[in-house]
Each structure stands twice: as structure tokens, then as C-alpha cells.
């Protein structure tokens, strides 16, 4: 039986307020991912979403949110004398296809869009790179990102970019750094018809499809290398810290019987449903949601929200409700150590798999440190790219 508390906990996870980092006109090359200054426009929420005591009061109007994103997208496009380099047709193929960049480097192509965890020099992204934009265009791009993403989602994106700038500053042979992150708009921004925004680069592939009052961020890839770095203001940044820590917290909440079901005897060291693998079938493994307590199920929903909640709140509440409806048949699988050092991500893989969600968290290791390089992917098995709409 589902706990009566879980829907409220689910909405609280989706509607909780959070802070956003600011960005500079140079595209964030100063590793601004560590900033925690708030932005009134981040997430396009239109005001507070919680009442006294943290009780959710309103998940927001998704129709109004779509219009806000359309307005921000059109304002960004209006900064160009020609949009040929940034705007492309939006088509709906029956499925995505794998793009082979050679030497095992895979991307995923959907119509005119293309994304990957690999650098843009390995897997090209259609669109315009941030480093080629004027200061006014960078500001308009940031406004668009802040409007379509939640505050936490925007901060996550900036921290991933900051990590790649840190990597780039060490000297690399591939295209890297905040200047090469690329944005593409597919279709015409519309409050009624489907269209898409793609933004990404190394360790980031955001695919936001909007169709009237509905929006999805599946599929999306997030990652980091290095996973920890020092921001320009001297603060320590640990990218994807919540995804790591909340995963370990859920694992720690399990009793011995549950742990035996959740922890795999096999070593899983990479994404199974990463770029180029949409539609691949996975046999569910691990601990089922139906075998969890109400408190553990709430932890599971909160963990899922670290990915679902990248997108602005009005779209997220309905999607989390769909995920919660299938929580009994949602599995939690773990592979690797059951603890991690304070202040660092762990080296363990985990997977969440249910009727409406697949999440993988997969540390890669680099330079002898298995905790400092991570890939993650988020998919909706029934609605990647808004297929179901």
C-alpha cells in the first residue's frame, strides 16, 4: 500500500525553493559554479512555491511557464541578424539513432539534434558556441536557461561547466571549457506546438522538449571532470554532490534483507543506457519500491528529483506524480562500495529503473582517483523527447 504521506513528500521535493548561481558575460570562464547568489528569474517560478513550514501550496502554471520560455527564447533569437547557426527544424523521428564518432565515442541523434558526454570536438553539436556570442547574447542565453531550468538545475549546469573549465585550464588536446558549450533551438518557439532546446558540451547534454503546457528534460546527461574544484571565489565545489550523497543515504536506510536485494554481486562501471542507447531493454534488478518503507520511498523520490527537477517546476510536479504512481515497480540497484569519504563523491554505480524513469549514476575514475569523474543519464522509457505527446 502506498503511504498517504508520499504524495506530499513528492511535491515538497519538486516544489522546494533553492538558490541559483550568477553568471558573467564571458560565459562563466571564472568557474562561477560555486556561487550561491540567488536570481529572481531562475526557474521561471513566478514567486514562492511553498507556504509556512515548507508545505507546498502551488506547483505553478505550466501554460504560463511555457509562455515565459517562449518569450525568453524569442528574445535570445532576436539578438541575431541571422538565426541560421542557432535555429534548426524540429522533426520527430520514430526513434533516435546512435552517432559513431570513432574510437568508441558515441552520441545520440534525434532529428537535427545531437548530444553526448564527449567533447564537442569528438561529437559535434548543432548550434552556436557560447564563446562566439556577444555579451548581450550571453545574457539572453543565460536568461533562457534560467527561465526553463529550476534554480538547482541552473546551478548544476554552471557547476558542470565550471568543472570543464578547470579541466581545460590544465591543458587538453580536445575542445573544452565554457566557451564551447553549444545551444541549438529546434523548431519555432511556440506556446502550442512542439519544439526543442538543446544545450551542452563535455559532460552535459540537456534536451528540453516543450509541447504546449507539457515539458520534459528526458533524455539528459550530466557529469563532471573533475568532480571537485575550487571556484574563483575560493569556495570548494563538488559537482553532483546531492546525487551522490542522497544515493548513499537511501542505501544506508536499507536493512540487511533489503541491502541483499539492492546490492549487485556484479561490477557495473559505465552507463548502460547512455547516448546512442535509447530504447535498449534492461532487465529490472535490485530492490523494488514495493519492498521499501514509506520513508525509504520518499528518499527514492527525492533522489529521482535531482534529475527530474533540473527542469522548471511547473512541468516537474506532473512528471513526478507519474513516477510515484509506478513506484511499486521501480527498482534501486547498487554496485560498488557502500560508503564514501566526506567531501568527495563515491566510486559506486547505482541505477533507478521504473515504468517512467531510468537513472544511472556511474563514476568513471581518472588519474587513479575513481571518484573524480562521473557520468549520469536520465531517461523516461515512455516519453524520451516527448514521444508520448
Query: What phi-psi label fits residue 277: left (phi over 0), alpha (psi between -120 and 50 degrees) or beta?
Result: alpha
Q: Are the beta carbons of 300 and 352 closer than 8 angstroms?
A: yes
* pLDDT per position as a tens digit, 202-254: 999 999 999 999 999 999 999 999 999 999 899 999 999 999 999 999 999 99
Question: What total number of domains does the chain contain?
Answer: 1
* pLDDT per position as a tens digit, 98-124: 999 887 899 999 999 999 999 999 999
Residue 158, in any domain of the structure: yes
Residue 1, in any domain of the structure: no
**Structural domain of 129:** 6-50+57-386
Q: Are the beta carbons of 86 and 128 closer than 8 angstroms?
A: yes
What whole-number distance in Å separates Cα of residue 84 and Cα of residue 82? 6
3-state class of 198 per DSSP? strand
Read off φ and ψ for residue 148, nearest 5 degrees.
-85, -20
What whole-number distance in Å separates Cα of residue 221 and Cα of residue 80? 28
Radius of gyration of the chain (CA): 20
pLDDT in tens, the chain (389 residues): 333 334 444 443 444 333 333 333 333 334 444 433 333 333 443 333 333 332 234 588 999 999 999 999 999 999 999 999 999 999 999 889 999 988 789 999 999 999 999 999 999 999 999 999 999 999 999 999 999 999 999 999 999 999 999 999 999 889 999 999 999 999 999 999 999 999 999 999 999 999 999 999 999 999 999 999 999 899 999 999 999 999 999 999 999 999 999 999 999 989 999 999 988 889 999 999 999 999 999 999 999 999 999 999 889 998 999 999 999 999 999 999 999 999 899 999 999 999 999 999 999 977 678 899 999 999 999 999 999 99
Cα atoms found within 13 Å of the Cα of residue 131, Cβ hemisphere only: 11
Query: What phi-psi label fits residue 54: left (phi over 0), alpha (psi between -120 and 50 degrees) or beta?
Result: left
Q: What is the pLDDT of residue 58?
A: 59
Nearest to 348 by CA among 333, 359, 363: 363
Residue 10, in any domain of the structure: yes
Count of beta carbons in the 10 Å neighbourhood of residue 120? 19
Read off φ and ψ for residue 369, nearest 5 degrees.
-110, 110
Residue 91, in any domain of the structure: yes
pTM of the shown model: 0.87
Count of beta carbons in the 10 Å neighbourhood of residue 379? 25
Could you tell me the three cell numbers for 350? 547505482
CA distances from 245 to 6, 248, 347 (A): 21, 5, 12
Q: What's 366's DSSP letter?
A: B
What whole-number distance in Å separates Cα of residue 194 and Cα of residue 282? 29
Read off φ and ψ for residue 308, nearest 5 degrees.
-60, -35
- Counted residue by residue, the chain has a size of 389
Q: What's 84's DSSP letter?
A: T
Amino acid at each position: 500500500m502506498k503511504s498517504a504521506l508520499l504524495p506530499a513528500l513528492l511535491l515538497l521535493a519538486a516544489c522546494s525553493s533553492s538558490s541559483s548561481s550568477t553568471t558573467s558575460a564571458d560565459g562563466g570562464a571564472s568557474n562561477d559554479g560555486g556561487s550561491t547568489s540567488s536570481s529572481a528569474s531562475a526557474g521561471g517560478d513566478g514567486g514562492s512555491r511553498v507556504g509556512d513550514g515548507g508545505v507546498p501550496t502551488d506547483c505553478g502554471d505550466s501554460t504560463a511557464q511555457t509562455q515565459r520560455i517562449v518569450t525568453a527564447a524569442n528574445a535570445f533569437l532576436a539578438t541575431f541578424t541571422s538565426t541560421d547557426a542557432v535555429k534548426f527544424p524540429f522533426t520527430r523521428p520514430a526513434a533516435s539513432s546512435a552517432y559513431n564518432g570513432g574510437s568508441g565515442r558515441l552520441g545520440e541523434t534525434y532529428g537535427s539534434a545531437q548530444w553526448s558526454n564527449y567533447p564537442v570536438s569528438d561529437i559535434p553539436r548543432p548550434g552556436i558556441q557560447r564563446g562566439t556570442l556577444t555579451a548581450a547574447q550571453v545574457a539572453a542565453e543565460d536568461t533562457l536557461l534560467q527561465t526553463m531550468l529550476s534554480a538547482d538545475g541552473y546551478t548544476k549546469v554552471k557547476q558542470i561547466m565550471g568543472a570543464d573549465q578547470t579541466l581545460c585550464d590544465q591543458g587538453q588536446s580536445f575542445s573544452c571549457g565554457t566557451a564551447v558549450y553549444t545551444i541549438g533551438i529546434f523548431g519555432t518557439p511556440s506556446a502550442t506546438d512542439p519544439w526543442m532546446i538543446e544545450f551542452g558540451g563535455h559532460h552535459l547534454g540537456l534536451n528540453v522538449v516543450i509541447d504546449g503546457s507539457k515539458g520534459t528534460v528526458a533524455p539528459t546527461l550530466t557529469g563532471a571532470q573533475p568532480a571537485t574544484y575550487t571556484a574563483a571565489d575560493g569556495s570548494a565545489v563538488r559537482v553532483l554532490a546531492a546525487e551522490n550523497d542522497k544515493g548513499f543515504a537511501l542505501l544506508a536506510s536499507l536493512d540487511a534483507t533489503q541491502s541483499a536485494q539492492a546490492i549487485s554481486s556484479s561490477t557495473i562501471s559505465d552507463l548502460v543506457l547512455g547516448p546512442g542507447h535509447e530504447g535498449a531493454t534492461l532487465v529490472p534488478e535490485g530492490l523494488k519500491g514495493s519492498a521499501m518503507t514509506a520513508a525509504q520511498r520518499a528518499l527514492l523520490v527525492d533522489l529521482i528529483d535531482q534529475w527530474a527537477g533540473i527542469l522548471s517546476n511547473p512541468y516537474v510536479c506532473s512528471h513526478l506524480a507519474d513516477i510515484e504512481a509506478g513506484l511499486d515497480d521501480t527498482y534501486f540497484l547498487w554496485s560498488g562500495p557502500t560508503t564514501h569519504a566526506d567531501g568527495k563523491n563515491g566510486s559506486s554505480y547505482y541505477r533507478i529503473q521504473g515504468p517512467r524513469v531510468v537513472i544511472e549514476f556511474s563514476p568513471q575514475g581518472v588519474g587513479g582517483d575513481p571518484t573524480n569523474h562521473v557520468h549520469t543519464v536520465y531517461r523516461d522509457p515512455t516519453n524520451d523527447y516527448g514521444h508520448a505527446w
